[in-house]
Structure 1
Amino acid sequence: MKNVIVVCEAGITTSLLVTKLEELAQQENEEYKIQSKNTEEGLDFIKEESVDAVLLVPQIHQKYAEYNEAANGKVLKISVIDYNNMNVFSIFEQLNEAL
């Protein structure tokens, strides 16, 4: 099972994205555990837990270096277009390519 977190400013706006990503993973028979975290929770989480990937929403792309340094997995930036359109297919494809 691959452990993935989606990080946004408050940890709330990504709930729909996480739900859609989980549904797509099930349809594709991929085993993912996907969670939403706010920026502070996310940093604490990746310092304590092993994650395969961290997905950063556009609002916090400026925190990429900080997350990349702290994470033991891949750190990916979700594009503005994919995020605004909730293009889970593109985001999921990027995630699979990285892992």
Structure 2
Amino acid sequence: MKSVIVVCEAGITTALMVTKLKELAEENKEDLNIYSKGTEEGLDYVKNVETDVVLLGPQIHHKTEAYEEVTDAEVLKIPVNDYNNMNVYSIFEQLQKAIS
């Protein structure tokens, strides 16, 4: 089972996105654990828990390097347009490419 975290400034904005991504994973028979975290909580999480993919919300794209320094997970930036429009289909495609 692959582990994915979606990180935004406080971790609140991504809650709905995580729900939708979990639904898409189930529909596509992808075995994924997907969590939502705030910036600092996310950094601590990836330091201590094996994670396969980190999806960063646009407001924390500037933290990409900090995440890459503390994890072997693939760190991806969610495109601003996809994030603002809650385009979970596009975000899920990006996620699928990272885990395949």
TM-score class, shorter-chain normalisation, is over 0.9
| Equivalent in the alignment of 2:54 | 54
Q: CA deviation at 1:72?
A: 1.6
TM-score (norm. length: structure 2): 0.97
Q: CA deviation at 1:71?
A: 1.4
1:4-50 deviations in whole A, cap 9, x for unaligned? Answer: 00001011110000000000000001111000000110000000000
Q: How large is the Cα RMSD of the aligned pairs?
A: 0.6
Q: Are 1:13 and 2:13 an aligned pair?
A: yes
1:41-80 deviations in whole A, cap 9, x for unaligned? Answer: 0000000000000000000000000001111210000000
Q: Distance in 1 between matches of 2:45 and 2:80?
A: 24
Which runs of 5 or more residues in structure 2 are unaligned? none
TM-score (norm. length: structure 1): 0.98
How many residues align? The count is 99
Which runs of 5 or more residues in structure 1 are unaligned? none
User: How do 1:2-41 residues align onto structure 2 when only pairs under 5 Å count?
Assistant: 2-41=2-41
